Structure 1
Amino acid sequence: MRNSLPSAATHAPNPSAPSAGTLAAAFALGGALTLLTLHGARALRAAAPAGPADGAPLMRAPLQVVAPVDLRRYAGLWHEQARLPNRFEKSCGGPVTAHYTLLPTGEVQVRNRCVREDGRIAEATGIAQPVRVPGMPGAGRLKVRFLPSWLSWLPNAWGDYWILKLDRDYQVALVGTPDRQYLWLLSRTPQLDEATISTELEYARTLGFDVDRMVRSGH
């Protein structure tokens, strides 16, 4: 689920420099203008209605991942229930699935499959690697690559896959990216009940995701 702030100089006296009285007057005038500006800004803030900016601290908060995640239990078939629009699934009009297989190396093979709008099947196979998070053993943070291994050195070859929410029975998962541009709701069952879908998406909203743009996967 997308793996992110004067020095002092000494001068010789200058005969043409402004007098102390002139400087004092300039500072006084500047101070008065500053006070007027501050008062005006405060008045505008007081009159302005509350808006989305009020939630900005939450929106900017770094996303946290589930920990620990047992990749052996996480492996298997998942059905996509909803997603934020993305170019990878632009042509997917039917069911979308992801099948994860834990490899002996500790990596995870990823096989994504979808039914296109024209009825044809599209499939992509990739590899996912766990990303270590200090102080969080088994953190649900992975990076995924669908390009061939000989292109793995490219900066954009890897994408973030963050497990943001996972129930104890490993039946429902929210997967996203730290920039909040990608989000998937996955479940073990082909069709998740509406109440659970709404609960999961509302939780994603509290994390700062624009869930009003979510696309429901076709079934």
Structure 2
Amino acid sequence: MSIFGLSACQNLPPIKTVGQVDVDRFMGDWYVIAAIPTIMERDPYNPVEHYEKNPDGTIATTFTYNQGALDGKLKVYHPTGFVVPDSGNAEWKMQFLWPFKSEYLIAYLSDDYQHTIVARNKRDYVWLMSRKPVIDQATFNQLVEKTKALGYDINKLEIFPHLNAKAPSKQPL
């Protein structure tokens, strides 16, 4: 069965990114509301991505979360983002460990820069993020629906709790 799943994934078209991202507006804190997480994101609570533009145009990124509980051990990572030229600033490469760079595609971005979906063509990881640590159920459902439309198995999404915030529930779509 996994052979069929792999084959289906390979037949999906490339993820279409948003047309244009104003990098300056994209900078700042993004709360990870839900994700199909990487191996580095083990049992995250309070996950936050912070972006800051460096003078050379790269993106200084700080990813923090508490492991295992809202007051669990603080984990901090500092990857560097590289905006891909001629991508409308919607495609980045993230480098956690030199010389390897991972695909980072801004597949959805609300007009007010309050919600985003970051995806990968492999459909192995995805992040649903917001400028606030909590979003209403309707917005969450819309982000999940958009994630599903990108070709992701939304049953793999994990919802992450944040301090003083009620997490949305993953409801059947």
- 2:82 is the counterpart of 1:129: yes
Give the Å deviation of 1:207.
1.3
Give the Å deviation of 1:91.
3.5
Structure number having the greater strand percentage:
2
Give the Å deviation of 1:85.
3.5
- 2:101 is the counterpart of 1:142: no
Cα gap change, 1:64 to 1:96, in 2 (>3 Å): same
- Aligned-CA RMSD value: 2.0
TM-score norm. by structure 1 comes to 0.66
Residue number in structure 2 paired with 1:37: none
Counterpart Cα distance in 2 of 1:145 and 1:113? 16
SS state of the match for residue 79, structure 2?
Answer: strand
Give the Å deviation of 1:88.
1.1
TM-score norm. by structure 2 comes to 0.83
Residue number in structure 2 paired with 1:202: 145
- 2:35 is the counterpart of 1:83: yes
Amino acid in structure 2 at the alignment position of 1:108? I
SS state of the match for residue 40, structure 2?
Answer: helix
Counterpart Cα distance in 2 of 1:91 and 1:121? 12
Quick check: which has more Rg, 1 or 2? Answer: 1
Counterpart Cα distance in 2 of 1:95 and 1:215? 13
Residue number in structure 2 paired with 1:33: none
Written as runs of structure 1 = structure 2, the 5 A alignment for 1:58-73 is 60-73=12-25
Query: Quick check: 1:68–1:139 contact (8 Å CA) kept in 2?
Result: yes
Q: Which runs of 5+ in 1 are unaligned?
A: 1-51
Counterpart Cα distance in 1 of 2:37 and 2:49? 17
Counterpart Cα distance in 2 of 1:68 and 1:186? 18
Amino acid in structure 2 at the alignment position of 1:132? P
Query: Quick check: 1:85–1:213 contact (8 Å CA) kept in 2?
Result: no
Amino acid in structure 1 at the alignment position of 2:83? P
Counterpart Cα distance in 2 of 1:207 and 1:126? 25
Query: Quick check: 1:76–1:101 contact (8 Å CA) kept in 2?
Result: yes
Give the Å deviation of 1:193.
1.0
Residue number in structure 2 paired with 1:192: 135
Counterpart Cα distance in 2 of 1:111 and 1:85? 16
Residue number in structure 1 paired with 2:167: none
Query: Quick check: 1:65–1:139 contact (8 Å CA) kept in 2?
Result: no
Q: Give the number of equivalent residue pairs.
A: 155
Give the Å deviation of 1:141.
0.2
Structure number having the greater helix percentage:
1
Amino acid in structure 2 at the alignment position of 1:127? T
Amino acid in structure 2 at the alignment position of 1:129? F
